[in-house]
């Protein structure tokens, strides 16, 4: 309808970005109908955007008049290059794996990152997995990031702190992101504080609702690091940062970086595209494995929760879980699971409850093999118990990074959990994990000391260089 109207007005569209899965009429059926609506005119270039990949689409649909395929999650650099290439194919050099979703960070963004040195960011996010991803993206920049775990905390911290920008999740307990923003705006001192919404929903109506609440901008989950940094650069006033004491970067990215080993080095897990998942973490396998481990901890009981919520008619619980799962699954390359969660989330948001009896079992069926495969992968990669000296070194590193409020404490805890897996003392790691997940590093020192005492490990303080 819109294509025909634009052609009749003499302003035809040049590009159509077509989602693969849509309610009513899916992307394949819509593409097949387009020629009839632009008869006699130059047809628009069509870019198919999908979470399942080119081969899966073509296997289902056969031949399609599509100019390029783009895999979700879509980064701005990839989208820009793809649009240029279909519009001006002779003037734009081909980019390897464009239709496979490979993205590259524009060099200008990295060059501009020092402009954010010393910036104070308030991250309001209740989901541990999404929190970890956002912190991971900002780890290499020399910014101070504080975390609020719900809307009430976000309001309190915004009023008490001196922040240059707030990254605000929309769906949070106690007070959602919109309500929290409205309360923050009641303080005259915070009228101009940039507040950026973070949500899995990117419809125009969602953006309009965020603007009405007083938000300045919108970042869609799964978070694209290029877009995140562009947004920070857009809204943070460099003049506010002049003369700031610049914190040291956490070094998390450098500390965990490993050469990209490629998807072939990772065992096959049904429902996960390791190559695209590695693209999401710049080819750093250790970061991907850490993210996958967090995913299992966060969503390991998701199938049981969905069954319980379905049997009890708890739509709010189902929608909350599907909403969070949609972005978290995409971060680890589980795009079919992400799409299934997105469909359930959308139906529940729009009141299409008659579909729940089909969508929930479909989501469970997509989730179970992913979770089982990731659990087996974690078990296979778990190191054998090491000698006391090696164990003591991990304790010492974790102690040092907790004292320094260093995000690398998460890596050290992962190592400690692996070393102690299967031992009775492993259950004592829970309060330590909770402190680190909540970015309350100092609160982890006491449970770490108790654990060390229980298993007879002496924590030897490390110097900054040795840590």
Q: Is the pLDDT of residue 27 over 90?
A: no
Q: Is 148 helix (H, G, I), strand (E, B) or coil?
A: strand
Q: Is the pLDDT of residue 33 over 70?
A: yes
Task: Give the span between the Cα atoms of 11 and 23, in whole angstroms.
Answer: 27
**Average confidence (pLDDT) over 423-427:** 65
**Average confidence (pLDDT) over 393-414:** 84
Task: Give the span between the Cα atoms of 210 and 199, in whole angstroms.
Answer: 10
Full DSSP string of 398-429 = HHHHHHTT-TTHHHHHHHHHHHHTTSGGGGGG
Judged by average pLDDT, the poorest of 91-100, 261-270, 363-372, 409-418 is: 91-100
Q: Is the pLDDT of residue 214 over 70?
A: yes
Choice between 137 and 308, residue whose per-residue pLDDT is larger = 308
Give burial (CB, 10 Å; 0-12/13-18/19+) of 292. buried
Full DSSP string of 363-400 = HHHHHHHHHHHHHHHHHHTPPPP--HHHHHHHHHHHHH
Tokens coding 379: 């078990």
Choice between 346 and 465, residue whose per-residue pLDDT is larger = 346
The confidence band for 104, taking pLDDT boundaries of 50, 70 and 90, is very low
For residue 38, how far is the Cα from the chain centroid? 38
The confidence band for 349, taking pLDDT boundaries of 50, 70 and 90, is confident
Q: What is the pLDDT of residue 152?
A: 93
The confidence band for 96, taking pLDDT boundaries of 50, 70 and 90, is very low
Choice between 188 and 37, residue whose per-residue pLDDT is larger = 188
Structural domains of the chain, ranges and CATH numbers in brackets: 2-100 (3.40.50.2300), 107-252 (3.40.50.2300), 263-380 (1.20.120), 388-455 (no CATH)
**For residues 57 and 69, is the Cβ–Cβ distance under 8 A?**
yes
51: nearest Cα among 290, 294, 342, 285? 342
**For residues 151 and 180, is the Cβ–Cβ distance under 8 A?**
yes
Tokens coding 276: 């695209």
Percent of the chain with pLDDT over 90: 16
Tokens coding 101: 């979703």
**Average confidence (pLDDT) over 163-184:** 92
User: How crowded is residue 425: how many other Cβ atoms within 10 Å of its Cβ?
Assistant: 12
Q: Is the pLDDT of residue 103 over 60?
A: no
Q: Is the pLDDT of residue 305 over 80?
A: yes
Q: What is the pLDDT of residue 95?
A: 44
Task: Give the span between the Cα atoms of 259 and 323, in whole angstroms.
Answer: 33
Half-sphere exposure of residue 226: CA atoms within 13 angstroms, side-chain side: 17
**For residues 319 and 348, is the Cβ–Cβ distance under 8 A?**
yes
* pLDDT digit string, tens, across residues 249-290: 554 433 333 333 333 456 778 888 877 777 666 666 777 777
402: nearest Cα among 369, 453, 440? 440
Half-sphere exposure of residue 196: CA atoms within 13 angstroms, side-chain side: 24
Tokens coding 418: 């692996």
Q: What is the pLDDT of residue 40?
A: 64
The confidence band for 11, taking pLDDT boundaries of 50, 70 and 90, is confident
Q: Is the pLDDT of residue 221 over 80?
A: no
Interior angle at CA 253, CA 252 and CA 254, nearest 5? 95
**Average confidence (pLDDT) over 326-341:** 85
Task: Give the span between the Cα atoms of 67 and 48, in whole angstroms.
Answer: 8
Tokens coding 297: 């901890």
* Torsion sign across C-alpha atoms 266, 342, 168, 147: negative
The residues, ordered by sequence, that sit 6+ positions from 187 with a Cβ below 8 Å of its Cβ are: 158, 159
The confidence band for 93, taking pLDDT boundaries of 50, 70 and 90, is very low
Choice between 258 and 366, residue whose per-residue pLDDT is larger = 366
Q: What is the pLDDT of residue 179?
A: 95
Q: What is the pLDDT of residue 292?
A: 80
Q: Is the pLDDT of residue 168 over 60?
A: yes
Torsion of Cα atoms, 126 then 130 then 132 then 133, to 10°: -150
- Determine how β-strand 165-169 pairs with β-strand 217-220: unpaired
Q: Is 373 helix (H, G, I), strand (E, B) or coil?
A: helix
**Average confidence (pLDDT) over 307-316:** 92
Q: Is the pLDDT of residue 52 over 60?
A: no
Asked if the peptide bond before residue 73 counts as cis, ω within 30 degrees of 0, the response is yes
* pLDDT digit string, tens, across residues 107-122: 445 556 677 888 899 9
**For residues 145 and 135, is the Cβ–Cβ distance under 8 A?**
yes
The confidence band for 231, taking pLDDT boundaries of 50, 70 and 90, is confident
Tokens coding 337: 């699971």
Q: Is the pLDDT of residue 127 over 60?
A: yes
The confidence band for 72, taking pLDDT boundaries of 50, 70 and 90, is low
**Mean of the per-residue pLDDT values for the chain?**
77
């Amino acid at each position: 309808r819109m294509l025909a109207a634009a052609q009749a007005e003499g302003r035809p569209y040049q590009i159509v970005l077509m989602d693969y899965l849509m309610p009513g009429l899916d992307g394949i059926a819509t593409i097949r109908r387009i020629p009839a609506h632009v008869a006699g005119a130059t047809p628009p270039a069509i870019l198919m955007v999908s979470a399942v990949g080119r081969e899966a689409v073509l296997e289902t649909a056969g031949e399609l008049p599509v100019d390029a395929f783009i895999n979700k999650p879509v980064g701005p650099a990839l989208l820009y290059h793809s649009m240029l290439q279909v519009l001006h194919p002779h003037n734009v050099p081909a980019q390897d794996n464009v239709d496979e979703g490979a993205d590259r960070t524009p060099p200008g963004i990295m060059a501009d990152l020092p402009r954010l040195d010393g910036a104070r960011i308030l991250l309001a996010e209740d989901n541990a997995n999404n929190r970890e991803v956002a912190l991971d993206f900002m780890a290499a920049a020399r910014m101070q990031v504080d975390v609020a775990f719900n809307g009430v905390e976000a309001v309190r911290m915004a009023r008490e702190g001196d922040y240059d920008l707030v990254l605000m999740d929309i769906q949070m307990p106690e007070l959602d992101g919109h309500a929290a923003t409205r309360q923050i705006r009641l303080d005259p001192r915070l009228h101009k504080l940039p507040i950026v919404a973070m949500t899995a929903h990117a419809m125009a109506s969602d953006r309009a609702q965020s603007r009405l609440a007083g938000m300045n901008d919108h970042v869609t989950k799964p978070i694209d690091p290029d877009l995140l940094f562009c947004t920070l650069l857009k809204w943070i006033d460099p003049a506010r940062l002049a003369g700031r004491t610049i914190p040291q970067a956490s070094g998390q990215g450098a500390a965990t970086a490993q050469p990209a080993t490629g998807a072939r080095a990772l065992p096959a897990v049904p429902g996960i595209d390791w190559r695209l998942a590695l693209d999401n973490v710049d080819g750093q396998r250790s970061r991907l494995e850490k993210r996958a481990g967090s995913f299992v901890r966060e969503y390991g009981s998701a199938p049981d929760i969905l069954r319980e919520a379905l049997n009890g008619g708890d739509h709010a619980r189902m929608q909350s879980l599907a909403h969070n799962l949609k972005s978290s699954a995409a971060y680890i390359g589980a795009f079919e699971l992400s799409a299934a969660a997105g469909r359930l989330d959308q139906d529940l948001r729009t009141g299409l409850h008659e579909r729940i009896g089909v969508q929930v079992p479909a989501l469970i069926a997509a989730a179970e093999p992913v979770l089982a495969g990731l659990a087996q992968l974690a078990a296979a990669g778990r190191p054998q118990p090491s000698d006391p000296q090696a164990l003591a070194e991990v304790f010492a590193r974790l102690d040092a990074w907790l004292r320094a409020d260093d995000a690398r404490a998460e890596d050290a805890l992962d190592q400690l959990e692996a070393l102690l897996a299967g031992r009775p003392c492993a259950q004592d790691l829970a309060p330590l994990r909770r402190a680190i997940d909540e970015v309350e590093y100092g609160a982890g020192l006491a449970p770490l000391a108790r654990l060390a005492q229980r298993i007879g490990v002496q924590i030897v303080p490390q110097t900054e260089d040795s840590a």
